[in-house]
Chain A
Amino acid sequence: MKKHLLDYQPFTVFLFCFLLIAWPFSMQAQAPALHQKIRLKLSHAKLEKVFQELEDKTQIPFSYSPESLPKDARITFHCKNLPLDKALSKILKNTGLTFEVVGQQIVIYSSKPAPQKTTVTFSGYVIDAESGEKLLHASVQDLVSGHGSITNNYGFFSLELPADSAAIRVAYVTYQSDTLHFKLHKSSQQTIGLYQNYSLEEVSIQAGEIDRIDLTTQMSRHAIPIEQIEQMPALLGEVDVVKAMQLLPGVLAGQEGSSGLYVRGGGPDQNLVLLDGVPLYYVSHLGGLFSIFNAQALNSVEIIKGGFPARYGGRLSSVLDVHMKEGNTQKLEGAGSVGLLATTLSIQGPIIKDKTSFILSGRRTYFDLFSNPLVKLLTDGTSLFGYHFYDLNLKLNHRFSDKDRIYLSTYMGSDRSRVAFEEEIHNVPEKLSNRFDAKLAWGNRLVSGRWNHLWSDKLFSNVTAIYGKYFYSNHFTAEREVPSGPPNRQNFFLKRAYDSGIEDKGLKIDFDFYPSHNHKLTFGANGLLHTFQPGFSLYLLQHPDSLPEREVQGDSAQISSMEAYVYLEDHWHISDRVSLKAGLHAATYRVKGTSYHSLQPRVQFRTQVATRTAFKAAYSSMTQFIHLLTHTGTGLPSDIWVPATDEVPPQQSQQVSLGLAHTLPKGIWQCTLEGYYKNMTGLIAYRRGQGFYETLGNWEKEIEKGGKGAAYGLEFFLQKKRGKTTGWIGYSLGWNFREFEGINGGKPFPYRYDRRHDIKVVISHKVNSKVQLSGSWVLGSGNAITVPEGRHNSLVTDVLAHYSPFSLGGDIVVLGEERNNLRMRTYHRLDLSATFQKETKWGKSSWKMGIYNAYNRKNPFFYFVGLDLDAEQPTTALKQLSLFTLIPSISYSFEF
């Protein structure tokens, strides 16, 4: 009987594990905080000290405005095993104060009947006080009213508060939190600057209390500060934000060294990668070893694995939202680094102070700078061999007024290789010369212009004009000159070219509307025109005495499609304990006269189940109108992006996530436990042995369509966000299957990156102001691969007589019934790095030394069948190939 995806035992195991782990967690979480008994001995103590002591004893944060406390009040109080609420009532008696539990904190306020309060709006931006850089997703909370907000993607926030005393606490990871106390009589706008916490000491406890994961509705989201990513160990010392994301639970790298992202069972094409709001397609250099993102040019990066906000659409599995820096508005500054692979240089500063700023950042590798001269030298100047990649980011922003800002972001990056040679052949009776030139390149171009406008204190809008292009080109030319010789030798010029790519032009508008303190509405619309060139092949042969022969394939395969969507989402704080994010993403797509429409509901729910512990649930429906035709599943530049068409419907997914989020006392530690189930439909794949060249111009009919996928699992994440030592431990347990009618006999099979267990540990420790140590350790179950079970003579061996008993070539292998029937060995690796910083007269400098694969583990890259030539008699054996054994690296960075 045919097995279906849900018939698999692991699904039951998954549910069982989830309940087993979640149950004691939730039981623990239900302890009533105010009933806990305390022991206290106070003598003539100030109220601030009383609250601090209670905070320490109960681990419950106290919120109050110091101005509201009676200055001369002194408390003398003794108690033993008294419930907290009763003790507080006694302490506050005769002080004119009272208390109330708001959310997970105790708020102290004046007990005098307040006059009828009106509400006002407090809005503004949160910025880095030194550079003026916007801080995205910073927490802003009024400690008096308990109302809070998070800055949006442009650093903007808006809070509706009672017209009274306010105590606004602002917090952002790696920054010193700040609390502003003032009286609000009317709506006002303010830009709040935070200073970076260079000491990283555990002083930002209060910040941790408002930047709590159990208080946010969003689940399955991770943001790692760029500063932390820069300290992490990296392959060849090249800082890579995508590789940092791979160290999170539920995110896999795929193959060793790859900068691909496989999120919760998804493929490399199912990630919406946005750079300043513009979608990117292939985001890797050097065949996937490094991502295109230059960390020096970035402000923030976050990944969302599930519970997708309604504003995102077009991909099934994740959103990687990357924002470039805007440029220092205060002073000119620069930074750079020199590593084994590449050199990076950034410069940023004001053009008009406080109004206009820029950042220009570039990165380039230098392999070709050595290889080209060397090859020239070795071949007497007749040959060239070079490869390099580069990235160039430029961003300008200008503030017209407090209400209007514009941004212009550009990115261009490319990988380029060239092999060329020329030869002269002197051969009696003729002389001829040949010239060959082969060039391979791929890359991205991106331009986006954005206009932020503040319509009122409560309505923020952003309009973005988008242009993006991904290209892949493979060109070859050959030229022959024959000054003399027989008539059948001719001069000729031959050009063969293959190009593919995708071009996007679009316009989108996003609104953030804060109608009241417990609602935040986001809505907007987007229109995107895609032009796909799945494959264009040119053959041109030019003889001097004849008309040129020209042959073109795939030119008619260019496909234009229009994708548009509107969305609306309300983030509703129903009460201090319950919040809901509900939205709808409605998309339409038109190609070749066929239209697809899709309604994609998105819901997220949070309820506080105990002090510091929230239960969260999310449902996301996603539709993806593009596909990736890939041979290896690893995501190569030569893989072809193709649109959904009338014959190839779009991919769709539905994901359900359930989880618990817990913030430990003082907010320094956070942990989450999430379970998810995702199903995918409309997947495509090449048929057996096919490549795009075999299907050029006819790919829609020649591929496997209607594939299904299912992924489910459990993720645990424990993170220390503040202090001298930061880092996390992540664990994921997962199952991941695919099902195609024409593959594996139509039965489901494990996906190549079906990884049962995956553990990741990342630690950074600041020894002192000059030395920082970092390390990461990963351990994962082996990838699933297909290993043949038998072999036999082939037709080639028997009939065509190519045979050798001492080699395996020529045999046919017999595959078992199941695809991906073997697990490779467990993968584990330790990376270490140490950064030594020094203050100089002109700025800062640092040396970073690292070791990739520190204990030289030979991890499996792939398996193949070969001969064991070390044995007494050569025997057939299964062999493993490993890449990236112990690799030291060193790089030098500077800032001025």
Chain B
Amino acid sequence: MRQQPYFLILIVCTFFLYGCPSVIEVPLPPHEHKLVINSLLHPGTSIKIYVSHSVGILEDKGEKGTLVKNAKVTIFEDDISLGQLTYRDTIRWIHNSSRSVPWGFYHLPYAPKAGHTYRVEVVHDHYPTASATTKIPTFPHITHHRFAPYHLLNESGDPLHLLTLRVESDSFDRQKTFYQVTGDFAYTTDTGMPDDGKFYFSSLRQNDVFPRQEGVFFQTQDESLPRLYFLGIGNESQVPVNPPFEKAAFELRTCDSLYFAYILYFPNQQEAAFGDFQFFPQEIEELPTNVQGGYGLVTSYAGIRDSL
């Protein structure tokens, strides 16, 4: 629950005093292109490493983007090489422009394991060598869960569903254990479109510091019983109000602190750097990176799925 949204009133009051944004030209600090490594490792799926390069802040990426295709990408499990990854071309569907763009990643058909350490090394002729290390956390252990649909309304009037989880303490230091809950929720719809009855939710929480993102989190008196409220149905005209609940599937993940910080601060950086109206401009904060010699984040989680 951040304060800034509550100053919307002030923004409205001063809106008529607002001058339109204009392009300005000022000399900016030079930027050296470096490799960018992004990856989210988790047990049970093969390894995908995304490699690209950075550009200057005003440099256009162009249609081709910044993918780096001919790099030598190697991964090590507990310092033992698992081999070199191979590049795969793919495409990505862009929702808001209804078309696809070229994409690609480096792949190794090997499923990483919880509790092990993985190091990725990327070598390319045009860029400095970059590497990053992550340790996949151990799996969480849910001892109890309960789901209560349409539990209450949030500030916008949308219904919130309550998911209550009891998690057994694991070997991680409680201060460093972070959980993310992600999943799907299904309800009955008469539109005939399969996706109309589903939506995706995602959240993050840490044991002791419970972030109040989007107003859907509440800390409980009982520290071992995390509760998650998540948004219910929107106000789409074709969907009845509070339709009968069908099914919810969720995944509880343990993740490392870098991933937690990255996801938590990512919206702040977006707003500070790219937001075109800020009544109270914010400092741009650097996001965490664990890539030596380059940028990006190689992180991991271990998750278990269940359904209700």
Contacts and interface: CB of A to CB of B under 8 A. Distances in A.
A33 B285 CA distance: 61
Interface of A: 255, 286-287, 289, 367, 385, 387, 417, 419, 423, 425, 427, 434, 436, 438, 440, 474, 476, 478, 480, 488-489, 492, 494, 496, 498, 539, 541, 551, 553, 631-634, 636, 638, 688-689, 691, 693-695, 698, 785-799, 801, 803-810, 812-816, 819, 821-822, 825, 858, 860-866, 868, 870, 875-885, 887
B133 interface: no
B304 interface: no
Given A541-B152, A803-B92, 6 more contacts: A792-B54, A793-B50, A806-B97, A809-B274, A812-B287, A879-B24
A813 B269 contact: yes
B54 A876 contact: no
B295 A812 contact: yes
Contacts of A806: 96-97
Given A798-B50, A865-B57, A822 B28 contact: yes
B6 A876 contact: no
B19 interface: yes
A789 B57 CA distance: 5
A862 B241 contact: no
B266 interface: yes
B209 interface: yes
B9 interface: yes
A634 B280 contact: yes
B137 interface: no
Contact of A427 (B241, B264, B296): B241
A387 to B, nearest CB: 5
Given A799-B40, A822-B26, A864-B275, A434 B284 contact: no
Closest 6 CB pairs of A and B: A882-B19, A689-B265, A798-B50, A790-B31, A638-B3, A792-B54
A224 to B, nearest CB: 26
Interface in B235-271: 240-242, 261-262, 264-266, 268-270
A790 B211 CA distance: 29
A805 B282 CA distance: 25
Contacts of A287: 7, 10, 279-280
18 contacts: A436-B155, A440-B6, A489-B242, A688-B286, A695-B209, A786-B284, A789-B57, A795-B38, A795-B40, A804-B96, A805-B97, A810-B270, A813-B269, A825-B24, A858-B22, A862-B281, A876-B59, A881-B276
Contacts of A804: 94, 96-97
A664 to B, nearest CB: 41
Contacts of B22: 858, 879-880, 882
Given A793-B66, A858-B19, A882-B22, A693 B2 contact: yes
Contact of A878 (B58, B66, B148): B58
Given A287-B7, A632-B280, A822-B28, A808 B14 contact: no
Contacts of A385: 9
A752 to B, nearest CB: 8
Contact of B283 (A488, A786, A801): A786
A698 B209 contact: yes
Given A417-B9, A478-B153, A796-B266, A789 B23 contact: no
The CB with the most chain B CB atoms within 10 A, among A423, A551, A879, is that of A879
Contact of A792 (B48, B53, B105, B270): B53
B293 interface: no
B148 to A, nearest CB: 8
A641 to B, nearest CB: 14
A794 B97 contact: no
A881 B22 CA distance: 7
B55 interface: yes
B291 to A, nearest CB: 10
B240 to A, nearest CB: 7
Contact-residue size bin, chain B (C-beta under 8 Å from the other chain): 35 or more
Interface in B6-47: 6-7, 9-10, 13-14, 17-19, 21-26, 28-31, 33, 36, 38-40
B197 interface: no
B24 A631 contact: no
Contacts of B268: 689
Nearest to A341: B13
Contacts of B277: 881
A885 B14 CA distance: 11
A807 B94 CA distance: 11
Given A417-B9, A551-B218, A786-B283, A793 B38 contact: yes
The CB with the most chain B CB atoms within 10 A, among A367, A814, A861, is that of A814
A791 B53 contact: no
B228 to A, nearest CB: 15
B60 A876 contact: yes
Nearest to B38: A798
B57 A805 contact: no
B151 to A, nearest CB: 9
Nearest to A552: B221
B233 interface: no
A217 to B, nearest CB: 41
A632 B281 contact: yes
A392 to B, nearest CB: 22
Contacts of A879: 21-24, 276
Contacts of A812: 266, 269, 287, 295-296
The CB with the most chain A CB atoms within 10 A, among B21, B52, B218, B270, is that of B21
B179 interface: no
B219 interface: yes
B65 interface: yes
B212 interface: yes
A551 B220 contact: yes
Contacts of A539: 218
Contacts of B279: 287
A438 B155 contact: yes
B21 A881 contact: yes
Contacts of B274: 808-809, 864-866
A799 B59 contact: no
Given A488-B149, A862-B281, A879-B23, A809 B28 contact: no
Contacts of B50: 793, 798-799
A880 B24 contact: yes
Contacts of B66: 792-793
B142 interface: no
The CB with the most chain A CB atoms within 10 A, among B264, B281, B296, is that of B281
Given A480-B153, A689-B265, A636 B220 contact: no
Nearest to B274: A808
Contact of A498 (B1, B36, B299): B1
Contact of A795 (B60, B97, B283, B297): B297
B56 interface: yes
Interface in B81-133: 92, 94, 96-97, 101, 105
A724 to B, nearest CB: 34
Contacts of B262: 795
Contacts of A489: 150, 242
Given A438-B155, A551-B219, A634-B280, A419 B9 contact: yes
Contacts of A865: 57-58, 273-274
A62 to B, nearest CB: 55
B219 A880 contact: no
Contacts of B96: 804, 806-807
A480 B159 CA distance: 11
A803 B94 contact: yes
B63 interface: yes
Contacts of A480: 152-153
B285 A688 contact: yes
Contacts of A478: 152-153, 155, 157
A789 B36 contact: no
B278 interface: yes
A791 B54 contact: yes
B94 A805 contact: yes
Contacts of B174: none
A474 B25 CA distance: 41
